[in-house]
Structures are given as C-alpha cells and as structure tokens.
C-alpha cells in the first residue's frame, strides 16, 4: 500500500490535470474560437477589399514573360517581336481586376 499510494497520487493528479486541461480547452474553444473566426473574417475582408480596391486603381501588372517590355528579343538582343503572352502590351491584368471585370459583365 505504501508503494501504490504515490502511484495513485500520480494517477489522480494526472487525471485531474487532464480534466483541467479539457475544461480549459472547452472554455477557450467556447470563448475564443468564434472571436478568432470573426477576427480572421474581418481581417480577410479588409485585406480582400484593399486588394480589390488596388486592383481597381492599378489594374495591370508587368507581363511575367517580358517583364513589362512587351518584346521577345532575339539572342543578339537587337531584334525582337511582340511578346507572345502579352501581345506586345507588356502588361497583364491582375487577378483581382479579372474578378471585378467578370462581375461587372454579369
Ligand atoms: Zn509580355
């Protein structure tokens, strides 16, 4: 009995800790998870709104292939043709702007 007493004590303590941990987890889940979701949703809305606003003001970015030059140069660098991806414009529409245009068309 003298040997099992500490074991029982440890078992009791660990079970108590487990209970405390689970109740604490329940409490934090019940209290903070909706708040966390709300904060994340608001942050996502703000970031998304700012991104769409930026895409409305600055709808274009440099073409990824020609880096905005609009030219596909020959190996010598003296001759060039229009960049096939941007057709010589040197720009591409940003994804957010495509979303805006897509929504405007409907
Ligand atoms: Zn290009």
List the domain boundaries for the chain.
31-105
| CA 63 – ligand 1 centroid, Å | 4
Q: Does the pLDDT of residue 106 top 80, yes or no?
A: no
pTM score: 0.54
35: number of Cβ within 10 Å: 9
Residues lining ion ligand 1 (Cβ < 5 A) are 63, 65-66, 83, 85-86
pLDDT averaged over the chain?
83
CB-based contact 65:89 (threshold 8 Å): no
Q: Does the pLDDT of residue 29 top 80, yes or no?
A: no
What tokens appear for 44 in the block?
């996502």
Q: Tell me, what's the pLDDT at 33?
A: 82
């Amino acid at each position: 009995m003298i040997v099992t007493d500490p074991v029982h004590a440890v078992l009791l303590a660990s079970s108590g800790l487990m209970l405390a941990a689970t109740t604490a987890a329940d409490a934090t889940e019940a209290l903070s998870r909706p708040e966390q979701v709300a904060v994340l949703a608001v942050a996502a809305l703000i970031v998304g709104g700012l991104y769409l606003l930026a895409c409305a003001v600055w709808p274009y970015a440099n073409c990824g292939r020609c880096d905005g030059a609009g030219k596909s140069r020959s190996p010598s660098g003296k001759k060039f043709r229009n960049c096939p991806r941007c057709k010589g414009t040197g720009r591409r529409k940003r994804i957010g702007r495509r979303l805006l245009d897509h929504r405007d068309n409907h």
